[in-house]
A and B are shown apart, each in its own frame.
Chain A
Amino acid sequence: MKPAPFAYKKARSLDEAIALLGENPDARLLAGGQSLMATLNMRLSAPSLLIDINGIGGLGGIAHKSGAVEIGALARHTDAERSATIAQHAPLIARAMPFIGHPAIRNRGTLGGSIAFADPAAELPACLLALDGEVDAQGPKGKRTIKAGDYFKGLYETALGPQEILTAIRLPAASADTRVGFAELARRHGDYAIVGLAASARADGKGLKDVRLAYFGVGNTPLRAAGSEAALARGDIDGAVAALDLDPHDDIQATGAVKKHLAGVLLRRVAAQLMEQRP
C-alpha cells in the first residue's frame, strides 16, 4: 500500500515546527520515521501534513553534564549504541540498545521519537521510567520538563501537548553504586518483546536500595512493579515475584497468563544482574 496524500514541510527551527503544529492540528512530526512511516504506508494514519524536524539544529547530541546524561531528541539509536558517554554514564540504555530493531532501523530511529511515540512494548520508554529520567518539551508556551513518572498517560498517549515537541531526554548519570538490569523475551531478535524489564537500583552494602522495575509489553504504558521493588530491596526475590501485580492482556504472541509468568522469570534474571558486582 501507498500512503494517503499529505503535504510535507521541512521545519528549520523548533519555533517553526511548533507554529506549523498549531496551524495544522492533524499534522504529524517526522523524526526517524521508523514507526510512523509504516503506519502511513498501511494507511492506518493519514495526516494532512508531515513536519520533518530532522533538519532542526541542536536536537542531536549526547552529553554528560551536571550529573545527568542528556540525549537530544534527534540522536539516532546508532549514536547511542556507539556513544562512550552512554556506555559509561547510562549503562541501562547501552544494555537495551542491541535489542531494538535491526541495524537499518537503528541507523534512522531516534531516541526522542521512541519516547514520544511511547509504544508500550518498546524498550526505551521503560528505560526512561526505570531510570526516573525526564523529558524536555517545548511548545507555544515555552519549555518545560516532565518527569518520567508523569509522562506516560495511556496507550500511545503522553503528557506532551498537541503543539509540544520533545526536545531532549535526561537521565541521571550512573554513579559507582548504580546497578542496572535489562532483559526481554522476543521470539525473534529485534522484534517487540512479549515482555521485557528494565531496572535500576543502587547498591546498599550487599543489598539494593532505590530499586525501580519498569516492565514493557504488559500494559498500555511501561509499568512499575512497586511491590516487587520493595521486596527486591529486602533481598527477597521470591517475594518480589509473588508481589508482581501485573495484569497483562492477551495478545497475538502470548496470553496474559504467559506474559505474567515470563515477567516473573525476567524478574529473577534481572535481579541477578542487579546483584552482580560491577567490574
Chain B
Amino acid sequence: MKITADSPPVLSVLDRPNSYIGRAVPRPNLQRLTQGRGQYISDVTLPRMAHVAYLRSPHAHARIVSIATEAAKKAPGVVAVVTGTELAKVMTPWVGVLTHLKGIKSAPQYPIAVDRACWQGEAVCAVVARTRAQAEDACELIDIVYEELPAVTNPETALDPATPVIHASLGDNLCFERKLDVGEVDKAFANSDAVVEATFVTGRHTGVCTEPRAVVADWNEGEQRMTVYHATQAPHMMQNLFAKHLDLSESQVRVLTKDVGGSFGIKVHTYADEMATVALSKLLKRPVKFVADRIESFVTDIHARDHRIKGKIGVTRDGVITAFEIDDLTGIGPYSVYPRTSGIEANQVVNLTGGPYNCPNYRAQARVVFQNKNVMCQYRAVGHPIAVAVTEGLVELAAAKIGMDPLEIRRRNLFPDDGYPAQTASGLKLEQLSHHEALAHLDTMINYAALRAEQKALRDKGIYRGIGFASFIEVTNPSAAFYGVGGAKITSQDGATVKLDAQGAITIHSGVTEQGQGAEAVLAQCVASSFGVSMDRVRVVTGDTDNTPYGGGTWASRAAGIGGEAAWQAGKALRGNVLAVAGAMLQAKPEELDIRNGVVVDKTTGAERLGLDELARVAYFRPDTLPPGFQAELMVTRHYVPRGWPFAFTNGIQASYLEVDTDTGFVKLLRHWCVEDCGTIINPQLVNEQIRGGVVQGIGAALFEQCLYDERGQMLNGNMADYLVPMAVEMPDIDCGHVVSPTADSELGAKGAGEAGTAGAPACIMNAINDALRPLGAQPLTDMPFTPGKILRALGKV
C-alpha cells in the first residue's frame, strides 16, 4: 500500500469509527512551543539553586599535578569548588561495557577527572556559584599544573606496540573487536567477474542539538530524595544510574524530562559532567544547575561515526553480488560510554553491511580503539549511515564497473518481497520487508528515465548532475536483545496507563518520552482510536519516573512501535472496563456496546446510549447506584515488548539529484526523495517529518559536518561558525513515499521511522556525486564529508 501524496490518511485494519490511525493529526502539544511557553530544562529555576561551571582540560592527555582552588573559593558568589578526588567520595565511577559484546573493555570513569585528564574538554574541577557567570569567573582563578602526556590520536597506529597505552590497566588500546566470516567469501570473490575495493571514511561528527545538554539536580536532605530535571531520552535508565552511583535506592530518585530541545541520541548517555552535577547537589544539599554552553558541548557531547572501512564487493557479469567484505576501524574516546558502550556502533556496522541484499558470503572485521579525543557513542541511526555508505557505495561502484544501471543491480540482488521471513548473512532476522516495491515506487516518483535524459542533455552542455541511490534497512522496535541481554538496566518493554477522569476525558501516562518527534501525538492517536474518543479529550503525560509506567524512553525508533502498542492496548482495555460500567448502568451486554466519539453507543445501530461524562459521574460519585459487588476500574495499565523478533527491521530507498560545479567543487542539492516502509503508519505527517529531518542530518554528514582534530588531540572547529551544520539555503526539498508492511508482532503493526532518513542520505549523496563526476574520470569519492577541496582533488584540479 502506497502513499504518493504528502500526508493523506492511510486506512488500515485498525480503523474504527473514529480512528486516528493513519491520519495527519496535528500534535496536541505544539501551541505552547510556538508561543514560547514550553519549559526546557534550561528554563528551570528552583529556590536556592546554584549554577555549576566546569573547568576543562586544555590538553588531550595530561597528568594533573596539582589543583590550587583557594583564590576561586574566595571569588564573589562562589558556593564551592570541588575537585575530582573530592567528588569521588560522593559518587562511584562506572565502566561502559556490555556482556554480549564479547571482550569489550574500558576503564573506570569518574564524574570529574581524578589524577589524569584523557581528552581535551574533560572536566577537571567544578565551581558552584550563585550565577553561571560568577562560576565562570572563578574558574579563571583556579591554577592547575598539568604534565602533558603523549596523546593517542591516530586510530591506524593505536594498536602498534610503539603507541602509548591510554589505560595501562587494560593492557592495550583495543576496546572491542568483532570478526565474522559467513559462507565462502574467498571462493565467491574468485568466482566473480568483477571485484571492487574501496576505502570509506565517515567523518567524526556530532548531534548539535539546538538546546545544549542541561540538568538541574535537587537533593532534598530532609526527604532523602534526589529530583533530577534532566533533558534526557531515557528517564528510567538515568534513575537507575543516578541511584546506583550515589548508592541510593531507585525510589529515592525521580527524573523529570520536561521539554527537550532535540536529542537524536545525544541525550541518551551518561555524561560525566551531568553525573557530577547530580553528585554536587547531593554534596551541597541544594539544587545545582548545569547547562552546557555550545563551546563545551562540542568537546563533550558524544561524537560518532569516526570510521575507516575498507570494503570489497564481488559481482558477476550479470550483476549478481557474490560477496561483501569489510574491515572497519573506529577510534572512540578514552572511555567506552556508559551504559550503552562505544562498541555498539561498530557492532552495528558489522550487522548491517550488506543488509538489503540476498548475498550469503560475508566477512567482516571491526576494531574499536581508544583515543585521546572526546568520547564517541550512539547518535541517530547508530552505525547505519556507515554500513549503508559502505554497502551502497560498493554496489554502485560495482554497477559502474560492469556497466549496469544502479537500480537494475539492486533489483537483481535485493531480498525478494515474497521471500520473507529471511535472514541476512550477518544473521539479522527479517520479518517482512518491501525493497522491490519501494524501489519501483521510487523509480516512478523521481521519473527516473526522464531524470537520466535531463542529466545526459545537461552533460553535453558541461553541466554535471548526478543521481544517486541508497537502499537500506533500519533497526527499530528493539527487544531485550539490544541492551538487556548485555546486563544494562535499559528496559525494552514500555507501558501506558490510561485513565478516565471524572468528566469523561482521558489521561495517558507513558514511559516513552517526547523529544519533538511527536510521540505524545502518536500515543494520543492510539488511545483515542482504541478507546473511542476524540483527540481533544486526551491528555498525555510523559517524562516523569514518579508518574509514568516503567519504560525505556525514546531511542532506536521505539516510541511509536513499542510505546504506541502499549497505549493502543491500554486504550482497548479501558474501553472494555468502561463498557462493563455502561452495561451495568444500562442493563445491556457490554459486548453489544461500543464507544464512539466519547459516547457509549449501541454497537450495531450506532445509537447513542450514554455520555462518558455521565458514566464517570456515576462511577466516581454514585457507585452506590451500580449493582452490588460491581467495581468500576477506570484506570488501566498495559505493557508491551516485542517478543517475536529481536528487532522490527524497516527498509527503504533514497535518491538524490544534485549538481557539481566542477570548477569549484561545490555541490548543489536539487532534490531528494525517500520511500520507506515503517509498517503501519500512525501519523503520515510525523513520519514524513522524521524522514525529512533525518535526511538533512545525513546530508550534514555527507557534505558539511566533521569534528576536526589535530595530531595533539585538539579539536579545531568546536564552535558553530567553524563546525558547519546544515542551514536552510543549502538544503533541498524532500519528497517522501511509503510502502506499508506491518509487523505481525503487535496489533498496531507499527515499526519505527526516526532514523531511516539519516541512515540512507550520506550514501545517497556520495553516490550522486560520483555519478555526476564519473564521465570526467574522477576518482570515486568515499571520504566524507565531501568538501570542495576533496572534489577538486578527485577531479585532478588541485
Contacts and interface: CB of A to CB of B under 8 A. Distances in A.
Interface of A: 1-5, 38, 42-43, 185, 187-192, 194, 252-255, 257-258, 261-262, 265
Leading 10 A-B pairs by shortest Cβ distance:
A2-B133, A189-B729, A258-B789, A265-B663, A257-B798, A261-B798, A1-B293, A254-B789, A252-B717, A188-B727
Given A188-B729, A191-B724, A255-B789, 17 more contacts: A1-B295, A2-B131, A5-B133, A185-B664, A185-B666, A187-B704, A187-B787, A188-B704, A188-B724, A188-B727, A189-B729, A189-B730, A190-B727, A258-B792, A261-B792, A261-B797, A265-B664
Contacts of A252: 708, 716-717, 722
Interface string B728-766: 011000000000000000000000000000000000000
A265 to B, nearest CB: 5
A176 to B, nearest CB: 32
A129 to B, nearest CB: 23
Contact of B295 (A3, A5, A42): A42
Contacts of A2: 131-133, 136
B704 A185 contact: no
B422 to A, nearest CB: 42
Interface in B133-169: 133, 136-137, 140
A122 to B, nearest CB: 13
Contacts of B140: 4, 43
A102 to B, nearest CB: 9
A19 B140 CA distance: 31
B724 A258 contact: no
Nearest to B719: A42
B788 interface: yes
A38 B293 CA distance: 13
Contacts of A265: 663-664
A189 B728 CA distance: 9
B664 A187 contact: no
Contacts of A261: 792, 797-798
B788 A187 contact: yes
Contacts of B722: 252
Contacts of A194: 788
Interface residues of B, number: 30
Interface in B119-140: 131-133, 136-137, 140
Nearest to B785: A187
Contacts of A257: 798
Contacts of B703: 187
Contacts of B131: 2
- Among B132, B140, B729, B789, max chain A CB count under 10 A is at B789
A187 B704 CA distance: 8
Interface string B754-798: 000000000000000000000000000000000111001000011
Contacts of B708: 252
Nearest to B665: A258
Contact of A189 (B665, B717, B721, B727): B727
A3 B133 CA distance: 7
A43 B664 contact: no
A194 to B, nearest CB: 7
B662 to A, nearest CB: 10
15 contacts: A4-B137, A4-B140, A42-B719, A185-B666, A187-B730, A187-B787, A188-B704, A191-B721, A192-B721, A252-B708, A252-B717, A252-B722, A254-B789, A255-B798, A262-B664
A1 B136 contact: yes
A5 B708 CA distance: 32
A257 B727 CA distance: 27
Contacts of B724: 187-188, 191
B727 A185 contact: no
Contacts of B295: 1, 42
Nearest to A5: B137
A258 B136 CA distance: 40
A67 to B, nearest CB: 37
A188 B730 contact: yes
Contacts of B133: 2-3, 5
Contacts of A185: 664, 666, 788
B772 to A, nearest CB: 18
Contacts of A43: 136, 140
Contacts of A258: 665, 788-789, 792, 798
Nearest to B667: A187
A145 B719 CA distance: 37
Contacts of A3: 133
A12 B377 CA distance: 54
Interface string B30-63: 0000000000000000000000000000000000
Interface in B658-711: 663-666, 703-704, 708
Contacts of A4: 136-137, 140
A34 B26 CA distance: 38
A175 B798 CA distance: 39
A258 B131 CA distance: 46
A223 B728 CA distance: 31
A267 B626 CA distance: 89
A267 B134 CA distance: 51
A253 B703 CA distance: 12
B389 to A, nearest CB: 21
A3 B131 CA distance: 12
A196 to B, nearest CB: 12
A228 to B, nearest CB: 17
Contacts of A1: 136, 293, 295
A102 B619 CA distance: 60
Contacts of B797: 261
A131 B80 CA distance: 57
Nearest to B294: A1
- Among B132, B665, B703, max chain A CB count under 10 A is at B665
A109 to B, nearest CB: 15
Nearest to B134: A2
A252 B721 CA distance: 11
Nearest to A195: B664
A2 B129 CA distance: 13
Contacts of B727: 188-190
Contacts of B137: 4-5
B620 to A, nearest CB: 52
A93 B126 CA distance: 49
Nearest to A257: B798
- Among B131, B295, B664, B665, max chain A CB count under 10 A is at B664
B729 A254 contact: no
A2 B133 CA distance: 5
A229 B704 CA distance: 34
A72 to B, nearest CB: 28
A194 B787 CA distance: 11
A6 to B, nearest CB: 12
Contacts of A192: 721
A266 to B, nearest CB: 9
Nearest to A2: B133
A42 B293 CA distance: 10
Contacts of B798: 255, 257-258, 261
B9 to A, nearest CB: 37
A255 B703 CA distance: 17
A186 B719 CA distance: 17
A206 to B, nearest CB: 25
A1 B718 CA distance: 13
A4 B138 CA distance: 10
Contacts of A254: 787-789
Nearest to B717: A252
- Among B293, B703, B788, max chain A CB count under 10 A is at B788
Contacts of B293: 1
B709 to A, nearest CB: 12
Nearest to B706: A252
B669 to A, nearest CB: 12
A102 B36 CA distance: 23
A268 to B, nearest CB: 8
Nearest to B789: A258
Nearest to B663: A265
Contacts of B787: 187, 253-254
